[in-house]
Structure 1
Amino acid sequence: MTNPRAARPLQLGSLRLANRLVGTPHASGAVAGGLPSRGDDDYWRRCAAGGAAMLIVGGTVVSPGSTNRNGNITEAWRPEVLAGLEARARAITEEGAIAACQLVHLGRETLGAEMWSHPVGPSAVRSPREPTRPRALSGADVDAVVDAFRTSAVHAWSAGFPVVELHAAHGYLLAQFLSPNTNLGRDAATGAQRVRILDRIASAVRDACPGVVLGVRVSSDGGDEAGLSMDGLCDVLPHLSDFDYVNVTVGVRTTYVRDMAVTDPPLLDSVGRLRAAAVTPLLVSQSFRTGASIETALQSGADLVGVARPLIADPNFPRKILTGREASIRPCVSCNEDCRAFDPVLLCSVNPDLAPPGHSARPAYPLTLGPTRGSRVRRRIAVVGAGPAGLECAMRLGPDHDVTLFEQRERIGGQLATAADAPHRSGWRRLLDYYADNMPKVAIRLAHTVNANDLEDFDDIVLAVGAVEELPQELAGTSSVLTSQALLGGGGALRGAGHVVVVDDGFGLWPTASAVEAALAAGADRVTVLTPAAAFASGLPAEGRVQYLRRLSGEPVDVRVLSSLVAVSDGSVEFENTLSGERTRLDVDRVVVAGERRPRDWSQLAPEGARVYVIGDALVPRKVAHAISEGRAVACEYLLTAGG
């Protein structure tokens, strides 16, 4: 047993948790009209089967004034919700985990989605994320909030959730009451006074739900945005004795789901201080990815460690941690692309087995050429290209077939390896390490450019040769550097350049964003970004964009929106404003351009009459999620069509 502390049981109120690993609050997204819909309970059943001691279901609001207009958040106050809540609780408990339901009122926040109601708060203090101030709650309004939490808790408890957690973190309504920056009432001068609403809700819930285990979630960071500083949090923790546990995390809306720039759990160094301040069992969470960090947190005084995105990437994360199989965990890379989009439901860029309701896997459509081969128990398969598409396919086929993986570079990963070289994007390396550790039976031939003769002895061919980035035709022959070239080795091509101009393609994606950070890391004293779009980095995930722009705060970066490159010459660039047509010339040491990505020519590797699959960027350049899903789809289709 490599994690002895994580495997120890814990008594939590009247409940005995089998171990110290908790699935912290998140939602399946399978919700329609405010009620759990088809597939929601399936998601929670898969999570619970992975070995977590307790799963906390999030995304559950207590009031009509706190729900999105699109109805994709569970509305816990409605009697009609009971059937869906019962299905959730049953799915979790039947797999041996403790079912917990987190309840939240958003207060002055809207989650960026349209709402039917108006924002409210303890005081009329505007959120930095919203255009209008909330209406200050009256005494009667506060009474109604307390009753809303009580009613919703009764529904959860009646549905089979023995644990209810109050969400007083991330700048939502109860956090607004805890913060001295958003609770300006005369009776809110001290932490003890500001927690009174939590005490009132706790008392009401316990009276209505005998024997319920009651937790509360709080967070540090974002002190000026209705969050609490670490000092403020430690002042509040001693006053939370009415709860059976306290769940501590970080951040406010837009920052509480940390991106790849965070490589270590933010709270890890503060666990000892939190333990000294807390008077109940302590659950800590956010960015715990490894058995070592979990063990360190438990050694430092945490009673429980929570994970959410790692469960989305691999529901068996807890069991693998507890049984010493960490290398087999499909890792969360913190890209925040699909898991935060809920389009149409909770998905994951690296986990192709997480699918919309009605699908057994994430939909994928590889290109298939040639006839179906006859059945053979074991076949010889060539996978050409060791990017994410080829890696996923080879890893899945390797245990049952003779698979050779060809890669023209000296390392696996393709363009994903280049992306991982960029500053603050090393999360992708975790995925590449996972593939490297889980293909023991695959023959890997690196630094090998495949030709048709290499493939003659194989039964089937999978072409995952990727894409190439190309300069716009008008820049051919100039000294411009492509983003893929600029990011190699962490920006080595940019060293020694004082002024770097980065030319976006207008889509605001990571190649441009990473090129800016690579230029700064290489020592540039000035970076100018030109984009024909109306905003910079607009294609990044919403939370990732906020955190990225904060990293650039104070850096010598000048962004020129609505600006198109006209010409590049030795030592200068010329660009024009797309509205006024005004032209500007800048002296520059290096020009980096986000070019168009186009599939590599694979036609000579697909001989007529052969069974060939084309996947990933070799088909059409898109996201990592598409590549991985198509790699999986080919492996599964191959097993059906060629495996007999």
Structure 2
Amino acid sequence: MKYPVLFSPIKIGTMEVRNRYVVPPMATGLARADGSPTEGHVAYWAARAKGGYGLLIVEAAAIDPLGKGSPWDEPGIWDDKFIPAWKKVTEEVHKYGAKIAIQLHHAGRQTTHDKIGGQPVAPSPIPCPVEREMPRELTTEEVYDLIEKFGDAARRARDAGFDAVEVHGAHGYLIAQFMSPYSNKRVDEFGGDFMGRMKFPVEIVKNIRRKVGNGYPIIFRLSGDERVPGGRDINDSRLVARVMEEAGVDAIHVSAGVYASTQYIIAPAAVPPGFNVYASEQIKKVVNIPVIAVGRINDPLLAEDILESGKADSVALGRESLADPELPNKVAAGLTEEISPCIGCMQACAGYLFDSTKSNISCLVNPFTGREGELKVEKAEKSKNVMVVGGGPGGLEAAWVAAKRGHKVTLYEKENVLGGQYRIGAIPPTKQDILKAIRYYITMGKKYGVEYKMGVEVTDDLIMKENPDVVILATGGVPLVPNIKGIDNPKFAKAVDILEGKKEAGTNVLIVGGGMVGVETADFLGEHYHNVTIVEMLPEIAKDEQAAVKFFLMERLNKYGVKAITNATVREFLDDGVVYEKGGKEEKLTGFDTIVLAMGAKAYNPLEEKIKGKVSEVYVIGDAIEPRKTLEAIEEAARVAVKI
């Protein structure tokens, strides 16, 4: 299929962009502690320029050290010392014909003392409901000083070779705080009414224009709807867009949300594709400059439709560009089945952002993201005979990557269908995009010559007979059945059996275990009108779900009337219920037609010891080592596949 509008050029001010694909700014965690960009930035952005995106917008860069807000080290542009390092990024991107902008940022109240070493500042002394740290109200003089700093940062961006700047007026950061009655309670010239609240962004744009000249493109990003009580809605944002066009911006980039509605800033799979397009459509009706849409635009057909129907002029693909930096080139070549898909899981993008053990952004489906400079798929020096045991996500990833490197790969799967537990994970509500990832791995495997042998239980005898050079054991895990009185009851069902349709649940269901598997099984059963109760030993259910995913999951569980008993340790299983201990007291819970076990998993690795010393190279990945999330299995698979 052809996409004529997607691949037509567009002008933003004096800048001509080769197509309508935009990579929006996303925190990467690639900066140094002092705010300077790294070789990681160079590799990351070069990959997306080479992959065909027209305009790349580098993540929020602080215009002042006290304006940093990212949980990771935020890049800076508050000093001329950053110019040479940023120049390396822009020069590399320009080699591939893309344009590159940088987003100018100040977090305002949406930061903490720990991140900036001082008290946050804001239009008014009202704390962010998420960060919950009291900000200091900026004086009028300090506001004017920040206006100058935005302008100085834009001049540095121009000198570093950026083709444009984006002023970050979205997501509840400082400029958005000034623009919104949700956070601006001032009565001086920077508050009081709509035009007072707009003075800060207007003066910033005018200051930038004075310092970079009339021909230099300025993009303004705003949240079309802040989605909080008392915040700006789309009607207000239409007025904001008109004022900013008059102030001199060359394009409007329409996002959504503030920290208190983060689930709409980085929306999970529960939010429909293109959910925010209505906002760009409304903005486009009132301005004469290009409008950029963003928000789960995860299909080229959807992107083309948005542009063709006049709802936006360009489309920004955030997590889609993490999942596949080559997406535009693949669409242009008609290779859409080879696109590595964003599945809205949030685990290695937003999930890593708030995980202190992780150093930078990545992607569950594409573990090469964020590691472009160090994890590369290169031709192997010697082709080896590789045997992969297990067709779950780890096995599928290892197989296609190894095959692409020139190895002869055979994958064995004991079931008659590929995907393993990952495939079962696609059955609960809103999880269906997981199937896209499985299809993608299979497509890539077939492209590079992986041979799939289905319905084969691998034994050590079979391995010896096949005589491989390398064995990758991706045998996964099996449900954990702890030694609790009464648990060995044939009437009970494992969660995976309920989801696969191997066992049918009655009207009243008790799920023992409130982790990811248990709550998603409850979600599935609730959708099908079962009465569900969860018993969980921890203080909360769904503790291992990513925050935005959990937000919508809990909404659905509440809607279905799912009950949860937490801090409850099961001591005995009865025929129709359990005896549990809570607060030192035993309670009995009975009257259930079906009891579902979702009490975790244990590693399944029956072959490693049997073949150790008999095969030159043996690797164990994923849940076969110990049960964890899918993203660890895929990441380990990629690292093994590029090394053999």
- For the criterion TM > 0.5, the same-fold answer is yes
Between the aligned partners of 1:582 and 1:359, the Cα distance in structure 2 is: 54
In structure 2, the partner of 1:214 is 218
In structure 2, the partner of 1:239 is 243
Between the aligned partners of 1:269 and 1:118, the Cα distance in structure 2 is: 37
Once the two structures are TM-superposed, the CA of residue 605 in structure 1 deviates from its matched residue by 7.0
Task: Write the letter of the residue equivalent to 1:610.
Answer: V
Tell me which of 608, 615, 637 is aligned to 1:631.
637
In structure 2, the partner of 1:366 is none
Between the aligned partners of 2:152 and 2:302, the Cα distance in structure 1 is: 38
Once the two structures are TM-superposed, the CA of residue 268 in structure 1 deviates from its matched residue by 3.5
Residue 305 of structure 2: SS of its match in structure 1? Answer: helix
Once the two structures are TM-superposed, the CA of residue 191 in structure 1 deviates from its matched residue by 4.3
Q: Within the alignment, does 1:335 sit opposite 2:345 as a pair?
A: yes
Deviations 1:100-157 (A, max 9, x none): 0101111221289644222333233343213244333332232122122122222222
Greater mean deviation of Cα atoms: 80-89 or 543-552? 543-552
> Cα gap change, 1:499/1:633 in structure 2, threshold over 3 Å: closer, same or farther?
closer
Contact 1:57 1:101 in 2 (8 A): yes
Between the aligned partners of 2:113 and 2:304, the Cα distance in structure 1 is: 36
Between the aligned partners of 1:175 and 1:69, the Cα distance in structure 2 is: 16
Contact 2:510 2:577 in 1 (8 A): no
> Cα gap change, 1:130/1:620 in structure 2, threshold over 3 Å: closer, same or farther?
closer
Structure 1: tracts of 5 or more residues without a match: 363-374, 639-644
Task: Write the letter of the residue equivalent to 2:585.
Answer: E
Contact 1:354 1:361 in 2 (8 A): no
Deviations 1:366-420 (A, max 9, x none): xxxxxxxxx9976654322111122122223446455432222232110111111
Structure 2: tracts of 5 or more residues without a match: none
Identity of aligned residues (%): 27
> Cα gap change, 1:25/1:69 in structure 2, threshold over 3 Å: closer, same or farther?
closer
Once the two structures are TM-superposed, the CA of residue 331 in structure 1 deviates from its matched residue by 1.6
In structure 2, the partner of 1:372 is none
Contact 2:43 2:373 in 1 (8 A): no
In structure 2, the partner of 1:560 is 565
Between the aligned partners of 2:376 and 2:175, the Cα distance in structure 1 is: 38
Once the two structures are TM-superposed, the CA of residue 290 in structure 1 deviates from its matched residue by 1.3
Q: Give the 5 Å matches for 1:251-400.
A: 251-253=257-259, 254-255=262-263, 256-269=265-278, 271-301=280-310, 302-340=312-350, 341-342=352-353, 343-354=358-369, 356=371, 359-360=374-375, 380-398=385-403, 400=406
Between the aligned partners of 1:344 and 1:410, the Cα distance in structure 2 is: 39
Once the two structures are TM-superposed, the CA of residue 466 in structure 1 deviates from its matched residue by 1.6
Once the two structures are TM-superposed, the CA of residue 345 in structure 1 deviates from its matched residue by 1.7
Contact 1:574 1:585 in 2 (8 A): yes
Between the aligned partners of 1:212 and 1:15, the Cα distance in structure 2 is: 8
> Cα gap change, 1:457/1:117 in structure 2, threshold over 3 Å: closer, same or farther?
same
Task: Write the letter of the residue equivalent to 2:17.
Answer: L
Residue 569 of structure 2: SS of its match in structure 1? Answer: strand
Q: Give the 5 Å matches for 1:41-190.
A: 41-67=42-68, 72-110=73-111, 114-186=115-187, 188=191
Deviations 1:243-284 (A, max 9, x none): 100001222232211112234121245554332133320100
Task: Write the letter of the residue equivalent to 2:105.
Answer: V
Q: Within the alignment, does 1:522 sit opposite 2:505 as a pair?
A: no
Q: Within the alignment, does 1:448 sit opposite 2:456 as a pair?
A: yes
Task: Write the letter of the residue equivalent to 1:591.
Answer: I
In structure 2, the partner of 1:223 is 227
Between the aligned partners of 2:243 and 2:543, the Cα distance in structure 1 is: 42
Between the aligned partners of 1:403 and 1:485, the Cα distance in structure 2 is: 31
In structure 2, the partner of 1:16 is 16
Task: Write the letter of the residue equivalent to 1:15.
Answer: M
Greater mean deviation of Cα atoms: 464-473 or 400-409? 400-409
Q: Give the 5 Å matches for 1:409-488.
A: 409-440=415-446, 441-452=449-460, 454-455=462-463, 456-460=465-469, 461-474=471-484, 476-478=487-489, 479-488=491-500
Task: Write the letter of the residue equivalent to 1:606.
Answer: I
Deviations 1:485-535 (A, max 9, x none): 34335xx8564333434423xxx5x22331331232232334334232x34
Once the two structures are TM-superposed, the CA of residue 452 in structure 1 deviates from its matched residue by 4.5
> Cα gap change, 1:322/1:561 in structure 2, threshold over 3 Å: closer, same or farther?
same
Once the two structures are TM-superposed, the CA of residue 583 in structure 1 deviates from its matched residue by 2.4
Residue 4 of structure 1: SS of its match in structure 2? Answer: coil
Greater mean deviation of Cα atoms: 345-354 or 20-29? 345-354
Residue 266 of structure 2: SS of its match in structure 1? Answer: coil
> Cα gap change, 1:335/1:112 in structure 2, threshold over 3 Å: closer, same or farther?
farther
Once the two structures are TM-superposed, the CA of residue 448 in structure 1 deviates from its matched residue by 3.0
Between the aligned partners of 2:238 and 2:370, the Cα distance in structure 1 is: 41
Task: Write the letter of the residue equivalent to 1:348.
Answer: C
Contact 1:176 1:226 in 2 (8 A): no
Q: Within the alignment, does 1:606 sit opposite 2:611 as a pair?
A: yes
> Cα gap change, 1:89/1:127 in structure 2, threshold over 3 Å: closer, same or farther?
same
Deviations 1:66-124 (A, max 9, x none): 22598701122133322322222222223221110101111221289644222333233
Task: Write the letter of the residue equivalent to 2:415.
Answer: R
Once the two structures are TM-superposed, the CA of residue 2 in structure 1 deviates from its matched residue by 1.8
> Cα gap change, 1:271/1:35 in structure 2, threshold over 3 Å: closer, same or farther?
closer
Residue 175 of structure 1: SS of its match in structure 2? Answer: helix
> Cα gap change, 1:529/1:75 in structure 2, threshold over 3 Å: closer, same or farther?
farther
Residue 207 of structure 2: SS of its match in structure 1? Answer: helix
Between the aligned partners of 1:85 and 1:9, the Cα distance in structure 2 is: 26
> Cα gap change, 1:558/1:66 in structure 2, threshold over 3 Å: closer, same or farther?
farther
Q: Give the 5 Å matches for 1:194-205.
A: 194-205=197-208
Between the aligned partners of 2:88 and 2:608, the Cα distance in structure 1 is: 51
> Cα gap change, 1:279/1:358 in structure 2, threshold over 3 Å: closer, same or farther?
closer
Between the aligned partners of 2:527 and 2:72, the Cα distance in structure 1 is: 44
Residue 205 of structure 2: SS of its match in structure 1? Answer: helix
Deviations 1:211-270 (A, max 9, x none): 321011112344326753233323432222121000012222322111122341212455
Residue 83 of structure 1: SS of its match in structure 2? Answer: helix
Contact 1:171 1:225 in 2 (8 A): no
Task: Write the letter of the residue equivalent to 2:517.
Answer: P
Contact 1:192 1:236 in 2 (8 A): no
Between the aligned partners of 1:158 and 1:549, the Cα distance in structure 2 is: 48
Between the aligned partners of 1:220 and 1:605, the Cα distance in structure 2 is: 60
> Cα gap change, 1:60/1:512 in structure 2, threshold over 3 Å: closer, same or farther?
farther
Residue 25 of structure 1: SS of its match in structure 2? Answer: coil
Greater mean deviation of Cα atoms: 97-106 or 80-89? 80-89
Once the two structures are TM-superposed, the CA of residue 36 in structure 1 deviates from its matched residue by 1.9
> Cα gap change, 1:553/1:228 in structure 2, threshold over 3 Å: closer, same or farther?
farther
* TM, length-normalised to structure 2: 0.88
Aligned residues: 617
Between the aligned partners of 2:509 and 2:466, the Cα distance in structure 1 is: 52
Task: Write the letter of the residue equivalent to 1:42.
Answer: A
Greater mean deviation of Cα atoms: 628-637 or 3-12? 628-637
* TM, length-normalised to structure 1: 0.88
Once the two structures are TM-superposed, the CA of residue 459 in structure 1 deviates from its matched residue by 3.0
Contact 1:451 1:605 in 2 (8 A): no
